[in-house]
Amino acid sequence: MTTHALRVVGVDVRSDSRWEGFLERHPDAVIYHHPGWLFALEAEYGRRCITLACEDTAGRLRGVLPLMSTCGLPANLVAGHRAGRRLSSLPRTPIAGPLATDPDASDALISTALERIRTHASMQLELKPVRELPHAHRLVRLPWRQTFVITLPDDPERLRFGNSRNHSRVRWAINKATRLGVEVRSGEGERDLKSWYALYLDAMRRNAVPPRSYRFFSALWRQLHATGALRVLLAERRSAGRTSLLAGSLILSYGKTAFYAFNGSRRDALSLRPNDIIQWHAIHDACRRGLRWYDLGEVSDDNEMLTDFKAKWGGAPRRLYRYYSPDSSHNVARESSQSAGDVSRRGEGRANGTARALSAARALWKRLPLPVTAKLGDWIYARL
């Protein structure tokens, strides 16, 4: 597409260095725009990303937009437009919408994405921008989850986690973990990654959430670990001559932001505060490396326990938004009206029935063997 001397083209991020060069210059670029993340998604989904770039007449990039199509779950197995066919930026990714130097480039990228779904009546466009899109007047904006972001000081010694009472609460947890012999180290190879993945599977089953495949994490490791953009922090305890792995987290970073991305932990070890000491190390490490923000990740509004864990680190809550093509699905308008409180009696009945079904499904999920949850999670994420 060409607009006012701008042209949107598909680029090959494997061979076109302009993509990474643009990310290095753009202040809002995050790890989820990085080719390494895109390649890991391709390994997980078994399909290629669509990487659109807006260039001027001199061939300079003015914007980029990574996209991937999803086939959706069959027969509306899960209610809601997010389970249908989408052209998304990007699936199973918190933020990765269009990046542009100016509104014209952003508009050109969005227009091209809309053109790609125009001939597919059942497909919708889904954008997940780092910041709200002020010029996306053709798209429907829906509120998504909150994330908690810590603004990091220049000096790690100046880190403070909320008010004095909250900071003391964090320090108490760290002191307890240290006193009980919990130590944190960085994972050194895929053997450590596999050990962490076993904890991750168990934690996801406890929370009744489908897990990502090991194939995805292995691809992330190969693409990003050597560059320092992926760190695996492991909390261990040595007792009676044996070392036990208690918890582990994957931390992703690029530009000026680090992301607390994935976690796994032993339920019987939570009293040792392994997740707290991992966060302590991760946040201080990000500060020492000169990063500006530490993003604790999105959390659903009804998950009070996880919200409390993330809020106690002193991060400022920030609402994320999703943008959808306006005429691709009646579900968009329906969910938008529901979010505003306009729910009919029939809608309430459906919502109650869905809630009961989800509650039963969660209870069943927690009883499944871990290998089964891994296979089911892989099947689900291949479609969402």
Condensed to tens digits (0 to 9), the pLDDT of residues 262-301 reads: 999 999 999 999 999 999 999 999 999 999 999 999 998 8
- Other Cβ atoms within 10 Å of 350 Cβ, number: 13
How high is the pLDDT of residue 203? 96
User: According to DSSP H, which parts of the chain are helical?
Assistant: 18-25, 35-45, 103-117, 164-179, 190-206, 214-220, 274-288, 304-311, 330-339, 345-365, 370-381
Condensed to tens digits (0 to 9), the pLDDT of residues 25-50 reads: 999 999 999 999 999 999 999 999 99
Q: Give the largest CA-CA distance in the chain.
A: 71
CATH code for 2-139+325-342? 3.40.630.30
Paired residues of 99 in beta bridges:
64
Condensed to tens digits (0 to 9), the pLDDT of residues 61-80 reads: 999 999 999 987 765 455 45
Amino acid at 127: L
SS3 (DSSP) at 112: helix
Domain ranges of the chain: 2-139+325-342, 148-319
How high is the pLDDT of residue 37? 98
Count of positions (residues) in the chain: 384
Q: What is the mean pLDDT of the chain?
A: 89
Using a pLDDT cut of 70, give the percent of the chain over it: 88
CATH 3.40.50.150 fits 148-319, yes or no: no
